[in-house]
Homo-oligomer: A and B are copies of this chain.
Amino acid sequence: MGGYLTQPLKRAASLFGDRLAVIDGDTRYSWAQLQERVARMAGALHDRGIREGDRVAILAYNSFRYFELHFALPWAGAVMVPLNTRLAPAENEFQLRDSQPRLLFVDTEMLPSLDSMGDIRDTIDVVVLDPASGANEYESMIEGAVVAPDRAPGGDSLAGLFYTGGSTGRPKGVMLSHDNLLQNAVNTLIGVGYDETSRYLHAAPMFHLTDGMATYSVTMAGGIHAFVPRFDAVKVLEQVQAHQITNLTLVPTMIEMLAREAERGSYDVSSMRQFQFGSSPMPDATLERALRVWPDTLFLHGWGMTEISPIGTMLPHHLRDPKVAGARLRSVGIPAPNEEIRIVDENDEDVPRGQVGELIVRGPMVMLGYWNQPDITAETLRGGWMHTGDAAWQDEEGLLYIADRPKDMIISGGENVYSTEVESVVGLFPGVREAAVFGLPHEKWGEMVCAAVLPEDGVELDLDALEQFVRSRIAAYKVPKKVFVRTAPLPLTSAGKLSKKTLREEYAPSA
């Protein structure tokens, strides 16, 4: 008998039934009301033909309804497939064809993108999630249904598919079980320290597990969930002030924007207890600015990846522990309590402490595998260990540091961008002979996606047309913000490989 994702809701409804569960615009529901709605939505899903193991996708911005679906889908025995609203339609079409959901919950704003996905609307039942279109189909489903029995299978059963960009080839649907997500929830409870007085604002996208890890853990603690549809510094600060928000999980880029806006405006944001952040270390200037606004607030640095549900390590007492100062602020911390990590060479042998190697992870948070990709799954999980592809090292105190980006990855505004994927699209544009994609430092986004292209002889590239071409095929955040047209071939290393290091130096913004 393992864990099951309906449990945190049922426990909260039993213990804290009359207390506030969600705040979203004018909407307020208690835990008891929320459980009733979830159980009825599960009934509606069953009426609509959803059976155990069926996938149900969501393409939507943050809302309390998205939150409810995190419980209603497991209650119905269904598998959730949260899609990334920032991807190009062609990318989401791929994920829909790959995961084959029977039903798709979608925001009105995302509806037009479905029309460019061939026959998708003929093969998948579509329900509009938000009330923009007047009568709301989601609410009608709840009203018209009766409470369903809890069909959550639990334990090792598949709970969700969470797509990650791939460095090569097609995106991978990470299969996470009920136990995977619940192990992550208790790790979050221990690491972050949520309790029944916590008030969490879902400000980062709910389709990413970076935000998702608060969904079950804050519910276990009996805290309150608030929502903004998408990150917007002004709206986030308004919500923090209006609802005395205590915790936010953001990437440093967002914290920077928030601190700048807080300095500009006049908000009472003293209720904040802790920022949880990840994906890259906090730049010194951002930290300095954030501490001016929130001098008494904790900053918890973590590292994770979708394949481990997602928390891997957390740096406790960031800025409070005298041991964690100076260079140690760049550490991602220590492994979760129920996790084992190793740093190994290419033969999976431990490297000496202090040396860089590949970070591998073992424990109950490790994914079941990649959907329909048994070969990559076997390779990634060989020997019973999750091979993260991240280069890392540990200091003498056991603190972990991410040494370098895996496989030529750029992190821009908290999103992972794989150079090879962008290069393959740029290279398709007529007249491009060679293309290289790389990141340059950027004050706001951490890194900015850039491209260097060598045209065919005699061709003058139309850069606006190139941008349109790329934008129609991949997500906007992956599109190069600067394209450098070269006359000389791309630089090579002594081994004859493309030298991105040389490119980054050549095109570095002057200080």
- Which A residues form the contact surface with B (CB < 8 A)? 1-3, 7-8, 10-11, 14-17, 155-156, 179, 182-183, 185-187, 189-190, 220-221, 334-335, 337-341, 362-364, 366, 381, 384, 394, 397-398
Given contacts A7-B338, A7-B363, A14-B340, 8 further A-B contacts (CB under 8 A): A2-B364, A8-B338, A14-B341, A14-B394, A15-B335, A179-B179, A179-B364, A185-B338
CB–CB B186/A338 < 8 A:
yes
Residues of chain B lying within 8 A (CB to CB) of residue A179? 2, 179, 364
Residues of chain B lying within 8 A (CB to CB) of residue A189? 190, 337
CB–CB B15/A334 < 8 A:
yes
Copies of this protein in the complex:
2
CB–CB A398/B190 < 8 A:
no
Distance between Cα atoms of A396 and B211 in the complex (Å): 32
A-B contact pairs, 22 of them (CB 8 A): A2-B156, A2-B179, A3-B183, A3-B364, A7-B338, A7-B339, A8-B337, A11-B335, A14-B340, A14-B341, A14-B394, A14-B398, A15-B334, A16-B398, A17-B398, A155-B364, A179-B179, A182-B364, A186-B190, A189-B190, A189-B337, A220-B337
CB distance from A505 to the nearest CB of B (A): 37
Decide: A186 near B1, CB < 8 A? Known: A15-B398, A179-B364. Answer: no
Residues of chain B lying within 8 A (CB to CB) of residue A340? 7, 10-11, 14
CB distance from A221 to the nearest CB of B (A): 7
Q: Is the interface of A mostly helix, strand, loop or mixed?
A: mixed
CB distance from A201 to the nearest CB of B (A): 21
Residues of chain B lying within 8 A (CB to CB) of residue A10? 340
Q: Which 9 residue pairs are nearest across A and B when measured between Cβ atoms?
A: A15-B398, A220-B337, A3-B364, A186-B186, A1-B366, A2-B364, A7-B340, A10-B340, A3-B338
Distance between Cα atoms of A388 and B33 in the complex (Å): 29
Distance between Cα atoms of A17 and B334 in the complex (Å): 14
Distance between Cα atoms of A185 and B183 in the complex (Å): 12
Decide: A338 near B190, CB < 8 A? Known: A1-B364, A362-B1, A384-B1. Answer: no
Q: Which residue of B lies closest to A220 (CB)?
A: B337
Residues of chain B lying within 8 A (CB to CB) of residue A221? 337
CB–CB A11/B220 < 8 A:
no
Q: Which residue of B lies closest to A12 (CB)?
A: B398
Residues of chain B lying within 8 A (CB to CB) of residue A381? 1
Distance between Cα atoms of A11 and B7 in the complex (Å): 29
CB–CB B182/A11 < 8 A:
no
Distance between Cα atoms of A366 and B397 in the complex (Å): 36
Residues of chain B lying within 8 A (CB to CB) of residue A397? 15
Distance between Cα atoms of A2 and B339 in the complex (Å): 10
Distance between Cα atoms of A8 and B336 in the complex (Å): 10
Q: Which residue of B lies closest to A337 (CB)?
A: B220
CB distance from A153 to the nearest CB of B (A): 11
CB–CB A186/B337 < 8 A:
yes
Distance between Cα atoms of A8 and B337 in the complex (Å): 7
Residues of chain B lying within 8 A (CB to CB) of residue A384? 1
Residues of chain B lying within 8 A (CB to CB) of residue A364? 1-3, 155, 179, 182
Distance between Cα atoms of A335 and B7 in the complex (Å): 11
Distance between Cα atoms of A179 and B337 in the complex (Å): 13
Distance between Cα atoms of A2 and B384 in the complex (Å): 11
Residues of chain B lying within 8 A (CB to CB) of residue A187? 186
CB distance from A339 to the nearest CB of B (A): 7
Q: Which residue of B lies closest to A2 (CB)?
A: B364
Residues of chain B lying within 8 A (CB to CB) of residue A16? 398
Most B-side CB within 10 Å, residue of A11, A155, A362: A11
Distance between Cα atoms of A279 and B190 in the complex (Å): 26
Distance between Cα atoms of A339 and B220 in the complex (Å): 9
